[in-house]
Structure 1
């Protein structure tokens, strides 16, 4: 009995164009720059994901997942005494 001949692979030529843009889930440099600017408690407290999911919102959500809901207390008069 003769073994079956190998199948020809249907190679999609468009794959080469898409593969060079694929980041494998890594964030863009813009996300890192946004976090450099926004990843501080007062800014993260105001992050809201209703309009658009931002890097700051993801960071806030990550913190809340591990430490629970929190609020950053800004300078209050009783704290200054």
Structure 2
């Protein structure tokens, strides 16, 4: 949200402002995207938010190339 609080169902809220690596990545978000208040992760081909199944498929293929174990998911912290 606008206060940088990440809330996921069934998990405690996380204040992203206290996560240095997240804040560093936010500095790479273009001003137009940041000011619009829309999604941060968008499909590079369409500039729209990813469809969840497609994002998971691409994420897993990259994770496999990086030797990330199969039991690690993109939702794991």
**Highest RCO, 1 vs 2 (Cα 8 Å, sep ≥ 6):** 1
Compare CA radii of gyration and give the structure with the larger one: 1
Q: TM-score, normalised by structure 1?
A: 0.22
Higher helix proportion: 1
